[in-house]
Structure 1
Amino acid sequence: MLGPMEEQGVAQGILLARGVCRALDALGFVPICEYPVTRSLRVDVLALGPKGEVWIIECKSSLADFRADQKWQGYLPWCDRFFWAVGPDFPCTILPEGHGLFLADAYGGEMMRIGPETRLAPARRKALLLGVAQAAGRRLHRMTDPQGRG
């Protein structure tokens, strides 16, 4: 059970992810939120680009949220580019360098910088793309048939 402050942080994170997803859509990327790249790692937003690029965006709704995160480096082997997404009042200077940055709110976002590209190995890319496609299909099926097995 979450306390009131934790619930507020979760709600802010969801709204931040929504704004980032709108920005990604405008860039031609298709986002999927809360995607598990492994059993122990679930990314905030994974986006597939028009040329097959895989971006991971880690949303941080507050300084406390950022300081509590110990797993973000585990996301790096699962994407071609990694980004932070924060609100306009976030102290961006504390974010680790060498990664991309989105500034966002509940209504949209803007890419402020793009980090370096580290291309995924072909076998990992294929497995990841298949997993994303299956997850998206399951989610859509659950929307159309909530009592189904999907």
Structure 2
Amino acid sequence: MAELADLGIPDSRAGEIVRGTRRLLGGLGFFGVTEMSLANNRRADIAAVGASGEIWMVEVKSSIADFRSDSKWPEYMPFCDQLYFAVASDFPQELIPDETGLIVADAFGGAVIRDAPEDRLPAARRKAVTLRMARLAAMRLTQTADIGWTAAPGLLT
């Protein structure tokens, strides 16, 4: 079995939550990228697109301290149709805001505990976010296929 670090995922509790969440999302028909910069200079932990073009973003929280130290999550909402928090099973779920969905995950999978409210993106914003996600994924695939190659800074902004 591949190690988390071999998959480009940090070998940490957060990395385990990311891996399980991505497995869950894949099973739901959503595929995407990690650490995607947004037009407002925020960075989504996971950004994924579904078969109909719907965009979900997931903010991963590995601890209560991590959750309490980050109040930027509302700034992701204008860039997705649904926003979720992904946490481990021992995280106090009552801390997760009602304006978001809730995923509980470990390194092997996850479950949607609460669906996120849907707020559909305008068409122009959806196109911009989808294009940013596609270019980031393609750049990472190119880097994987051509070890040692690095994109010039600023190409994805």
SS at match of 1:38: coil
Counterpart in the other structure of 1:99 = 100
Counterpart of 1:129 in structure 2 is 130
* Unpaired runs of at least 5, structure 2: 1-9, 152-157
- 1:25 maps onto 2:29 in alignment: no
1:50 aligns with 2:51: yes
Higher helix share: 1
Q: Deviations over 1:107-136 (max 9, x none)?
A: 110111112110111111111111111110
Q: Deviations over 1:40-77 (max 9, x none)?
A: 20111011011100001111100000001021110010
| Amino acid of the structure 2 residue aligned with 1:110 | A
Distance apart, 1:149 and its partner CA:
4.1
| Equivalent residue number for residue 75 of structure 1 | 76
Output the amino acid matched with 1:137: A
Distance 1:98 1:52, change over 3 A: same
- If the length of structure 1 is used for normalisation, what is the TM-score? 0.90
Contact 2:96 2:102 in 1 (8 A): no
CA distance in 2, matches of 1:142, 1:11: 23
Q: Give the length in aligned residue pairs.
A: 142
**Runs of 4+ in structure 1 over 2 Å off:** 146-150
Partner of 1:12: 13
TM-score by length of 2: 0.86
1:10-56 per-residue CA deviation (whole Å, 9 max, x = no partner) reads 82111111100000000011021111113620111011011100001
Kindly indicate whether the alpha-carbon contact (under 8 Å) linking 2:32 and 2:137 is maintained by their aligned counterparts in 1: no
Unaligned runs of 5+ in 1: 1-8
Letter in 2 for 1:52: G
Within 5 Å, which residues of 2 pair with 1:110-149?
A: 110-149=111-150
Which whole-Å CA distance do the structure 2 matches of 1:112 and 1:106 have between them?
17
State the match for 1:86 in structure 2: 87
Q: What residue is the counterpart of 1:6 in the other structure? A: none
Query: Could you list the per-position Cα deviations for residues 67-95 of structure 1 after superposition, in whole angstroms to 9, with x for gaps in the alignment?
Result: 01021110010000011111000001011
Give the letter for the 2:112 counterpart: M
Query: Contact 2:88 / 2:105 at 8 angstroms: preserved in 1?
Result: yes
